[in-house]
Structure formats: C-alpha cells, structure tokens
Amino acid sequence: MSNSTRNTLVLAVILILVSALVTWQLAALNKKTEAARDHNRLAQASIDSLELQLATIDSLRLEYELQQAMMGQQSKLILGEDSPSITYGYLLDIMQWMKTNVNFDFAVADAKEGQATYNEYILSGKTRYANLLNLANQIEKQRLVMTVEDFSIGSEGTAQADTVSFSMVLRTHFITGGPDATEIGMKAVDPAYTAYPLFMPRISEEMLPWDVDPALLNVEDAKLIGISRGMAFFRDAQGIIRILSKGSRVAYGYLYKVDESVGKVVFKLAKYGLEEDYNMLIDSE
Amino acid sequence: MRKHPKMAFGISEDGQSLRLACLERDSYLVRLTRLDLAELDKPLYRAQEQLVDFGGQNWEEDASSGEIRIDDLSPGGAGSNTAQLDRLFGGARLQRGVIALNVNEENLVRGIGVPETKSDERAFLRANLEPRQLKRGDWQTSRFTINAENQLLLHKGANQLLDSLVGYANRHRKRYYFQLADSNDIILADHYRVNNLGDAQRALLIHLGRDYRRAFLFDNSQLVDIYPLNITQELPEPEMIYSRVSFALDNSQQPEPEKFVICGDLASEEVVAYFNFRQPDSAELLGFPLLSVDSLDPELATPVHLARFALPIALAQKALFPEETRYTPSNFLPGRLLEAQKPFKISWHGFLIMFAIFAVALFGTVTYLDGQKKFEATHRLQRELDHELAVLKLETAEIAQMQEEMRHFSKNMEAIRMVLKGKNAWSAVLDTLDRLFQSRPISWLTNFKRDGTRLQISGVTTNRNNVIIFADALPQSRIQKVTSNLVRGTTLWNFEISSDFPEVDWVGQIEAEMAAALALTKQEQELARQQEEAFAASQAKPEQASASPPAAPAAPLQPAKATPPAPAKAAPPVSGQALKPISSRYMPPLSEAQNSAGGQAATDYNAFIRALNTGDHEATLSLGNAFLRQHRGHVLEPMARWHLANRLYRAGEYTQAIAVIDPLVHKYDAHYPYALLLTARIDQARGNKRYLRLYPRILATFPDHPIRPLVEEDMASLGLGGEQ
C-alpha cells in the first residue's frame, strides 16, 4: 500500500471521526436546547398560573378571611381525635355549661377499628325530662359534631311524674387535622323549650305497691342487643337500653354470666321460690 | 531524504563484489559499526543478458501508472546471487537506517561543457535517451565540477543494486529507506576533498576496484582531474598498477603528485610498498581518521581492510550528513522512489477527503456556534423565567397556604355535611311535641323511641281528636293504635303513632352563618371606602383654595405615640385575652432612608401620624389608607402600614388589620419581626390559633431583637411559656 493511499485511509477515518464528533456534539446541543425549551414552557405555564392566582389574591384573601372567621366562630367542628375519656369529659363539660346534672350510665358500645371515623357510646339512666331535653339539645347543637343515633324515653309513671328513663346511642366523629377537644369552647345555644313536662302523667290509677322494684330490668320483657367488654346491653319494653354487667340486679334475680364469645348471658332468677337459670341470646333482628 | 539520520548503510557494487559499511552518528562522533562483503556468483552489470529475470516485471517498465509503489520496484529476486544478497542484507538489518548506493559506470553518460540552461540540458537528454525513456522519466542527472570544469552526468537504465535491495525487502517484508545513489567518481572525490581539507600537497587518490579503477588528482584539496586506469587484469601486480598510473599521469601532462593514496578492493601493503619503492615515502593507504572503529571487530579494523571499503564508507558518510554542503549535491535515485518514500504524501483522493473534512468541520462549527447561540438564549430565558417563577412562588406562598387551609376547611365542611345529613333531629322533634302538647292539655307521652328507621311515640290524651293533630304534626306519620281506658271516671285514649324523622338542615345553618359574616364584612369595607372618599374630597378643597403655595422643605417625620388612644368604638377581642397596647419602644423605628424622605409622601405620612397621635380614628383610617393607595412602594409605606394595622388592631377591626399588615409578613426586611408580632397579636385577638406558632417562631428567629421582651411578656400573658 502506498503512502498516499494509506494517508487517504487515515484521512477517511479522521473524516468519519470528525463527522461522528460533529453529529454527536450537535445532537447533544440540540437535546440540551430542547430540554431547556421544555423547561421554559413549563416555567412559563407555571408563571401564567401563578400570575393568574396573584390576580385573584384579593378575592381569595377575602374568602380566606371569611373562612377564618367561620373557623373562629367554631360553628361545627369535627374532632381530630377521640377516645371514651374525651367524649365523657366533653359530656361533663356540657352539663357544666348547662349548670345542671343528668345521671347516666356510660359505656362504649363497640370497638371500631381500621378506617373508622367515629366512636359509639351508650348513655342510659333516669333524670328529669327538662334536664334530659336540655342535654340532647346541647349535644346536637354544640360545636363538636356528635350524632345521636338512637334516643329512647320512657315515662316512669305517677310515682316519679317528672322523671323519665332514657337511653341514647351517641357517636363522636373525628377526622385527621381536626382540632383538639381542649380547643373547643362553649357555644351559646338557645335553651330547649321545657315549659311543658311532656312525659308527666296527668291522670293515673290508684298507686299499688310493687312486688319488685320497678326500676329493675324485667328480664322476660327485655332483649339482649349487644355485649361488649363484659357488659351486656338490653332493650326493655319501653325501648330503653339498660347496661348490665355480671352481678347486676334484675327483677327476681341477678345477671350470673356474660359470655361474649357466643353472645349469650345467663341470669339466676327466683321468681317462684326456686332459683333457676335463664339464658338469653343476642337478638339478631 | 531524511535530514538527520542516525544510521546509514553504504552499499557499493563493483564487479562481482558487494561491499557494505554501516556508520552510526552519535552527536559529533561517527562510528563504523559494520563492514561486510559478498562475492557474487555473477556480476550485476557486466553480463546482464545472462541474468535471470527478476520476477519478470521490471519496475522501470511498469511505471506508467503515475505513481511508484515499492512493491512494484521489485525485480522479484536476484537470480543465482540470491543467497549472497540475502546473507549480506539480512545480516545488516538495513531498516534501522538509511541506505546509500553507488550507480554503475555502465549506466552513466558524461556530458562535458553542457551549459546549465534547460534547453541545452534538454538537448543533451534527447541525444542520449530513447524518446520513450525520456518521456517515462527513468533517468536522473547531476552536475559535477572537475578543476572548475562542469560535467553533466546522466544516469539511465535500471539500477541493479537498487533492484536487488527492493527485491530483498519485498521478499522479507522489510521497509527500507533509500537516501542516496551516487556515482563512484563523485562519491570518492567528495570523500577525499571533504576529509582532507587544508592538505596543500598534490595527491593522487587511486581506487583499485574489481571493475572500477580510477585515479583522482588533487591539488591543494581541489580535484584537478580523473584518470581511468587501463588495467585489464583481474588481479594485477603492483608493477602493473604503478606503470598504468604513471602512464595515465604522463598522458595528462600534469606534474608528478607528491603522494599516492590507495584504496579499493586491490589495495594492499604490497602495492603501497611498491609505490614507496619507486618513489620513497610517497604512498599510503586511504585512511579514515574521523571514524571511530571501537565497535568494529579488530581483525577488520586494519588500514588495509578499511581502504578496501572506501566506497561504501564514503557512501554511508555522505548519506549520514545530508546537511553537509561541501558534498556535491547529486542523487541518482529514481524520482518516483523518492516521492514514494515521503510518508505524508497526499494524492487527489486524499485532498478530496481533506476538503470533505474541512467542509464537515466548517459546517459543524457554524452549526454548533449557531446552536450554542440558541442554547445560550434559551438558557438565559430559562434563568430569567426561573427567577421570575421563584419570585412568584414566594409571592404566592401565601396563596398556597390559604388554599391549603381552605381545602382543609372545605374537606371539614364536607365531612360535617356527610355526618350530619339526616341526623340529630331529636331535640327538634321533642320541641315540636312539647309545644303541640302544651296547646292540647291533659295529654302526655308514655314512650318515645326509634323503631327501625321511624320514630315511634305512645301517649295518652283525654281528647281523641288530639291524636290526629299529633299525628299531623309529624312527617309521614301513621296512627298505629288508639285504645280507650276509663280511669277514675275519665276516659283516656292511649295512642301509638309512628312517623319519619324531620330533616334538620345543619349545613344550611352553617352556610347561613357564613353568608351573614360575608355581608357584615362587605358592609364594613363599603363603609371604609366611603370614609376614604369623603376624606379625600375634604382634602382636595383646601388644596384648591390655597392656590399652589410654594413647596416647603420636608418637615421632620413624626414618631407614633407610644400608646395611641383606643378609639371610641374599639371592640373587645373576639375570643382572645386582651394584651397591653404596644409601647413605642417596641414599634418599628424610622430608618435613615425613611428619615431623609421628603416630598408629598413625607407630608402625607406626617399628617397620618398626627391623626394617629390625636386619636382621631376616622382621620387616621382615611389618611392611612390614602397614603397606602397613593404612595405604594414608597420607603415610608411599611411604617404607614404597620401603624395603620396597629390602629385597626386596637380598634378591634381584625380582618382589616390583617389585610393591611399582611404584605409586611411576606417581605423579609427590618419591619418583618415587628409585623410578625403584630400579626400574632391580631391572630390571638380574633381567635385564630396561628398565634400559637407565630410567637415561638419570633423568639427562635429573632432571639436578640429589641421586641423580645414584649414577645416574652405576651407569651407569659397567654400562657405560652414566656416569662411572667
């Protein structure tokens, strides 16, 4: 091979290399430029969007201030977190704000797990109707979002004309980011209309002595509606939910056993002079 | 031709002998490192017709392609001399240096007195060359001066020694570099002349080769004449040599030389002794005093041996010093061979590709520069957009925060809507029943409960018409049962009614509250706007009446009062605990730039501060708002903004106060900590829990700021852990 041919081949290789280098450099530069242009397009779109936002900042600020004012008013709030202690404390706070007292049994109805957004509680007891009405009114209208899922009231008869038995199934709702219970203050709520004692009997038969304490649960008229944490929930003939635990007294006997695993309770009753077991299963209806 | 070779091989052909000498140049020292001799079976020139064809393809005959290839130069072998040639060339490793050859006298034509003009030389060539040979260019010329007389030497025909070397190189895949091919006359004359400068004696250099036998007469180191020696014997006696030399000298009619210098194949001590016998102390062997022979075999480094290698040594020396100008500039190597040996030679296709490289490089450079320019423009735009975007993001950070809180609010509202839908109607039902039963005396309820999705009530009344009225008061009601009972002489009617629950619009109530708040705020804004317009109108009238008084020097700016008096209509905080007013030492001080401000802005600012200090609430609001509207971006704007916000805060107008102070909490300057503190106070006063975060943030960010005592005092008052 002659020198000139060899040199031509070398030059050809250099030509290829130069061409490849030029192509690569131009491609890289184009890629860089395109990337910068894409970036600019996105940035311009963002700028347009932000400028649009800035143009509406005054109206947005006004709306925001209104919302802040609304939040400040705390018309209705969902708690950030709830527990039986929080709900029970809140109920006591309500009664303190009402400057009255309602005696009730308090129990957690069911343990909610996973994505639950509320806890359910049962209140049961006897009180003056006016107090009960005010309590329900406050629960429904105060700032904290609680819902009364079930409410039963039963007259206690002529002997306690101004007293009623009641039970209430209550749900305390909560949501992520909600306020703490301690941040929630009292809201001025119009008192309930209590001028008329709705459950007071005006005419009744002559009072006869009771064989058993009428306040005790009559097992034969009651339904077992739930068992939770060793407590059994019964609904009596008036629809009032009674909360009993092992050893609680009932008409003619006591609650002997609460079997949560099979949903069954056993009473020891001595209605006819002989103690016998009375089994009751959870009413599935 | 290589300019500074380090090693040169001189190879001379003379009859049946080939002699080789190798010289190495080390700076100024020249070493003779190798001497070798090959006796050929047949001479290369004398009987060419008997030589075997070297491969059947003579390079001279095939050089019409316009470019010589080394491969094509090969005669293909050296016939019966191959073994001797291979031994001679193979042992020398010729590729390490440059090669110098002699040319045979048979191929040389001498032209004496040919003028140095192109036309005369051309005529000489035409006379001595075949037209085909002339056209093909297989010839070389050189000029040689003998006693100031110019000789033109023409070499034509094949150089058999060169062909042999090329053939060997091709057979053994060697690449040799041919530096020189010269005639014996020139090389010997040059060698003696260059190595004996300053020798004033008349000297006769006698070369006694196998075929080449000449005498060179020098006078004062200048070549006077060259005499062919007519010695026909292959190995002549010294007497014969001397007589032929004397005969040649006699014919030349030149004076007798003072000394005889003998070299060549036939040089020997006997010949020198005979010459000295005839002319005492007049003869010597050709010596090489400038050569170092240390690396040569001692048996070869004898004067006789060296004198016999005079030709190859002279060739190698001339090839080793191409820069030596005293040598006659002659070279009989074929021109095409010289061209082919140039490593950087480029032919037309090479130039074509070079042009292509240039074009590609030019195109690439121009395109790249253009692309770079576009990229830089795009990059510059990118930087500008990024900067603008960053600024906008900072400015809209407040928006993002507001939107986030509003999203949360909306989410909360939606959750409330979902939770309360169709719930909590109990107190409403009982309220309805209470009022209804009160209007129908001697009626009461015995039971109130939920039965599935419906409400179930049972009660007693003395008038059974009431049962229908009770049922009608409830939605989707149904009278389940009505029974009579006589108690103490009165007929009592026991009834049972079921109904749906009434719908309570809790969300509607919340939205109604929002609408009321919105209306209230709009009303306040409208009122403020009207007040500003009224104030502006009242200010415009005196200005018109004053008929443009001359501009007075800027009055010194007035500091705000320590505790501006609370306005008459000041409202208590909505839900926060009241804090002490901010004293003047915790208010932002006027900076140098603000103090040196003049013009209408300074006048307006002073008027605003005067109104603030006098406790004129309406004038303060009007002047403050007017200042902010008319002097947006002025150096005094932050001060006016802070004092106006403080006044609004004291007046209980928290929404307005927040709107006024808000720009200061988005700009990090000297007013920022004061603005943060005032914002925290306003938030606390209006019941916004943000102040719980703001107070610790002020302490953490500005631990040594003058407002720290007030911050700690506020925190202590609010139970946030500050000092009491």
Residue range B446-460: average pLDDT? 90
Question: CB contact, 8 Å: A49 with chain B?
Answer: no
| d(C-alpha B204, C-alpha B238), whole Å | 16
Q: Of B306, B340, B374, which marks where a domain is finished? A: B340
Query: Which of A:206-265 have CB within 8 Å of B?
Result: 238-240
Q: What percent of chain B has pLDDT over 90?
A: 38
- The CATH number of A84-183 is 3.30.70.60
**pLDDT higher than 90, residue B616:** no
Confidence of residue B154 (pLDDT cuts 50, 70, 90): very high
Same domain, B319 and B460: no
pLDDT recorded at residue B67? 43
Whether A196 sits inside 8 A of B371 (CB atoms) is: no
Same domain, B170 and B268: yes
| B384 → chain A, closest CA residue | A40
Confidence of residue A220 (pLDDT cuts 50, 70, 90): confident
Same domain, B170 and B138: yes
The pair phi, psi for residue B71, each rounded to 5°, is: -60, -35
Model confidence pLDDT, tens digit, residues B37-80: 999 988 888 654 444 444 444 444 444 444 444 444 444 345 56
- Which residues of chain B make contact with A154, given a CB cutoff of 8 A? 446-449
pLDDT recorded at residue A91? 92
Whether B434 sits inside 8 A of A173 (CB atoms) is: no
Whether A18 sits inside 8 A of B435 (CB atoms) is: no
Same domain, B493 and B564: no
- Which residues of chain B make contact with A201, given a CB cutoff of 8 A? 444, 446, 460
Same domain, B653 and B533: no
Facing residue for A238 by CB, picked from B419, B438, B447:
B447
Model confidence pLDDT, tens digit, residues B531-557: 677 767 766 655 444 444 433 344 455
Same domain, B535 and B583: no
| B504 → chain A, closest CA residue | A140
Q: Which residues pair with residue A106 across a beta bridge?
A: A123
Confidence of residue B254 (pLDDT cuts 50, 70, 90): confident
Model confidence pLDDT, tens digit, residues A29-50: 999 999 999 999 999 888 888 8
Cα-based distances in Å from B467 to A113, B146, B352: 45, 162, 117
Quote the minimal CA–CA distance from B439 to chain A in Å. Answer: 10
B469 belongs to a structural domain: yes
Confidence of residue B137 (pLDDT cuts 50, 70, 90): confident
Whether B415 sits inside 8 A of A64 (CB atoms) is: no
Q: Of B340, B372, B404, which marks where a domain is finished? A: B340
Average pLDDT for chain B: 83
- Which residues of chain A make contact with B662, given a CB cutoff of 8 A? 61
| d(C-alpha B141, C-alpha B136), whole Å | 15
CB contacts < 8 A (A, B)? 266
B410 belongs to a structural domain: no
Number of structural domains found in chain B: 4
| B341 → chain A, closest CA residue | A3
Q: 3-state class of B54 per DSSP?
A: coil
Same domain, B211 and B72: yes
Residue ranges of alpha helices (H) inside chain A are 3-55, 57-73, 84-98, 129-141
Confidence of residue B366 (pLDDT cuts 50, 70, 90): very high
- Which residues of chain B make contact with A202, given a CB cutoff of 8 A? 441-444, 460
Spatial CB neighbours of B84, under 8 Å, sequence gap ≥ 6: B18, B38, B39, B40, B41
Whether B450 sits inside 8 A of A67 (CB atoms) is: no
Burial string for B319-333 (b: 16+ CB within 10 Å, else e) reads bbbbeeeebbebbbb
Q: Residue B287, Cβ neighbours under 10 Å: how many?
A: 15
pLDDT recorded at residue B76? 38
B86 belongs to a structural domain: yes
Same domain, B216 and B147: yes
Confidence of residue A74 (pLDDT cuts 50, 70, 90): low
Residue A163 has what DSSP assignment? E
CA gyration radius for chain B?
Answer: 64
- Which residues of chain B make contact with A239, given a CB cutoff of 8 A? 447, 449-451, 456
Domain that holds residue B664: 553-717
Whether A150 sits inside 8 A of B374 (CB atoms) is: no
Quote the minimal CA–CA distance from A168 to chain B in Å. Answer: 10
Question: CB contact, 8 Å: A72 with chain B?
Answer: yes
Cβ atoms of B180 and B319 within 8 Å: the answer is: yes
Whether A152 sits inside 8 A of B382 (CB atoms) is: no
Helix (H) or strand (E) holding B654: helix B654-661
**pLDDT higher than 70, residue B430:** yes
Residue A190 has what DSSP assignment? P
Residue range A2-15: average pLDDT? 89
SS3 of chain B: helix, strand, coil, percent, to 5: 50, 20, 35
- Which residues of chain A make contact with B386, given a CB cutoff of 8 A? 43
| A179 → chain B, closest CA residue | B689
Same domain, B582 and B453: no
Facing residue for A147 by CB, picked from B353, B423, B437:
B423
Instruction: Return the CATH number at B449.
Output: 3.30.1360.100
Model confidence pLDDT, tens digit, residues B498-538: 999 888 877 777 766 666 656 666 666 677 777 677 767 76
Burial tier of A209 (Cβ tally within 10 Å: 0-12, 13-18, 19+): exposed
pLDDT recorded at residue A206? 61
Whether A151 sits inside 8 A of B350 (CB atoms) is: no
The pair phi, psi for residue A221, each rounded to 5°, is: -100, 0
- Nearest CA-CA partner of A31 in B704, B94, B399, B374: B374
B597 belongs to a structural domain: yes
DSSP string, B446-476: EEEEEETTEEEEEEEES-THHHHHHHHTSTT
Same domain, B557 and B537: no
B628 belongs to a structural domain: yes
Question: CB contact, 8 Å: A122 with chain B?
Answer: no
Burial tier of B74 (Cβ tally within 10 Å: 0-12, 13-18, 19+): buried
Whether A26 sits inside 8 A of B518 (CB atoms) is: no
Facing residue for A70 by CB, picked from B345, B431, B517:
B517
Whether A26 sits inside 8 A of B345 (CB atoms) is: no
| A24 → chain B, closest CA residue | B364
Facing residue for B354 by CB, picked from A11, A77, A140:
A11
- Nearest CA-CA partner of B697 in B683, B687, B686: B683
More confident residue, A265 or B198: A265
Same domain, B468 and B566: no
Looking at this protein, which amino acid is placed at residue B711? V
pLDDT recorded at residue B619? 86
B532 belongs to a structural domain: yes
B362 belongs to a structural domain: no
Q: Which residues pair with residue A280 across a beta bridge?
A: A265
B195 belongs to a structural domain: yes
Quote the minimal CA–CA distance from B24 to chain A in Å. Answer: 27
Facing residue for B360 by CB, picked from A19, A145, A240:
A19
Q: What percent of chain B has pLDDT over 70?
A: 87
Cβ atoms of B245 and B215 within 8 Å: the answer is: yes
- Which residues of chain B make contact with A183, given a CB cutoff of 8 A? 689
Q: What is the pTM for the complete model shown?
A: 0.44
pLDDT recorded at residue B576? 52
